[in-house]
Amino acid sequence: MIATNFDAIIVGAGPAGSSAAILLARAGWLVALVEKQSFPRRKVCGECIAASNLPLLDALGVGAAFAASAGSELRQFALMQGEHSIKAALPAAAHYRHAWGKALGRETLDTLLLDQARATGVVVLQPWSVQEISGVAGDHRCDIRAVGSDEKRTLHAPILIAANGSWEALPSARSARRLARKPSDLFAFKANFQDTALEEGVLPVLSFNGGYGGMVLADQGLGTLAFCIRADQLEICRRESPGLSAGEAVEAYLKRECHGVAAALASAQRVGAWMASGPIDPGIRLNKDDTLFRIGNAAGEAHPIIGEGMSMAMQSAWLLCAQLLQSAPPLGRLSDTGWQRSVQHRYAAEWRRHFAPRLRLAAAFAHVAMRPDLASPLLAVVRRWPALLTQGARWGGKIKCAASPATIAWLASGADTGRSFAGPVSYFACSTNFETP
């Protein structure tokens, strides 16, 4: 029989939701994690995990499994537009073991984290779909239904955390998705390829008229091509390639427009179908009137051109859990609305401090990348000074973790030893430096 009363209900078992579930369950909370899709499943995602997140994976207990499955260390990236390709070094993180990021398919990463959540004692409801959310802060009601059947449950908890993806709106927000579309809407596509000519350890970033994207060599030698394209440019691509699917039409367009894509895929074979989602909706979704907590894309989303979606997902979970556990009342008194409002305000302030600059930078990069008339002069500059690209990656957050080493150690050791989570720790220092043992 499925329990119905919990300390926290988390909707969405991606990297954000599973990370939060593990941390809260380690602290002794009874946690329900609701996920409507069966795992493993593919996602429209660039699959790159920045170096700043690898200590988090270690602390969650999946670092070794991640390292065994992921692709090569990403030490360089290349900016590609038309016939041009400019290489630059990616900045190295200061961690003594995790200086460079890697790429791993979401079907593997998400499964690793969800399995760890189960092992930690999280009640995983999968595949179950959220039908309705009601109640107030401190007394949430979540009606769910088993996918593919008529079985229903009603869950209750004082804490509700939204960790759903940007294309998987909660019931209260689904009507907004029916608004009229615009020519400027961005749609995301992704496909995997085998036998590509992609270089190991290099992360190409693509700039083309009407869109932007990236490629990477991930686990099992599979190459990933992921991109965002404006609705009006997508329509042009489809007219130019009648009979092809939307993904195939844009693939043909990219091969014509970007020499780097054509060279990488010249002898490659696509594995599986093109995947598509959208339109993407970059921006901050935190609301001062929220009665639930938001992490991952439910809290805010950056243009994917800087590849920080996974970082923001996992790190936002750590920010929220540190705030929840830092000053939590005894379990059983989590319904205190004054305490919840205080946590909400502190968490929102920390989220904005760490992630709002990334959103602004990503928006600037995206709008330049989609317009060759703006991008070409900048290409001439970075061709002469490629170190500017390295600095841009540093500004984009590639080596900066919102959770300080003290936060990571505190949450991990507190869970391992059963100690109280209260204490005079500086939870949100920005430094990512780790001392070499």
For residue 39, what is the domain's CATH number?
3.50.50.60
79 vs 202: CA distance, rounded Å: 10
Q: Is 141 exposed, middle or buried (0-12, 13-18, 19+ CB in 10 A)?
A: middle
Total number of domains in the chain: 1
As beta bridge partners, residue 192 has: 224, 271
Say what the pLDDT of residue 171 is.
63
pLDDT one-digit tens code per residue, 411-434 = 876 544 343 433 333 333 333 333
Q: In which residue ranges of the chain is pLDDT below 50?
A: 174-175, 178, 415-437
Asked whether residue 195 is assigned to any structural domain, the reply reads no
Asked whether residue 425 is assigned to any structural domain, the reply reads no
Asked whether residue 111 is assigned to any structural domain, the reply reads yes
Q: Residue 20 sits in which domain range?
A: 8-71+103-174+282-367+402-417
Q: Please provide the DSSP assignment of 279-342 as one string.
A: ----EE---TT-SSEE-GGGTEE--GGG--HHHHHHHHHHHHHHHHHHSPPPTT-TT-HHHHHH
Asked whether residue 297 is assigned to any structural domain, the reply reads yes
> What's 70's DSSP letter?
S
pLDDT one-digit tens code per residue, 115-145 = 999 999 999 999 999 999 999 999 999 999 9
Cα–Cα nearest to 341, from 139, 137, 133, 158: 137
Say what the pLDDT of residue 332 is.
77
Question: What's the predicted TM-score (pTM) here?
Answer: 0.91
Asked whether residue 265 is assigned to any structural domain, the reply reads no
233 vs 13: CA distance, rounded Å: 33
Cα pseudo-dihedral 343, 15, 391, 222, rounded to 10: 180
User: Left (φ > 0), alpha (ψ -120 to 50) or beta: where does 20 sit?
Assistant: alpha
Give the count of beta carbons closer than 10 Å to the beta carbon of residue 73.
Answer: 16
Say what the pLDDT of residue 179 is.
56
Say what the pLDDT of residue 399 is.
87
Say what the pLDDT of residue 329 is.
83
Say what the pLDDT of residue 180 is.
62
Asked whether residue 39 is assigned to any structural domain, the reply reads yes
As beta bridge partners, residue 159 has: 8
- Residue 66 in contact with residue 33, Cβ under 8 Å? no
Asked whether residue 95 is assigned to any structural domain, the reply reads no
Say what the pLDDT of residue 254 is.
97
Say what the pLDDT of residue 172 is.
56
> What's 5's DSSP letter?
B
Asked whether residue 51 is assigned to any structural domain, the reply reads yes
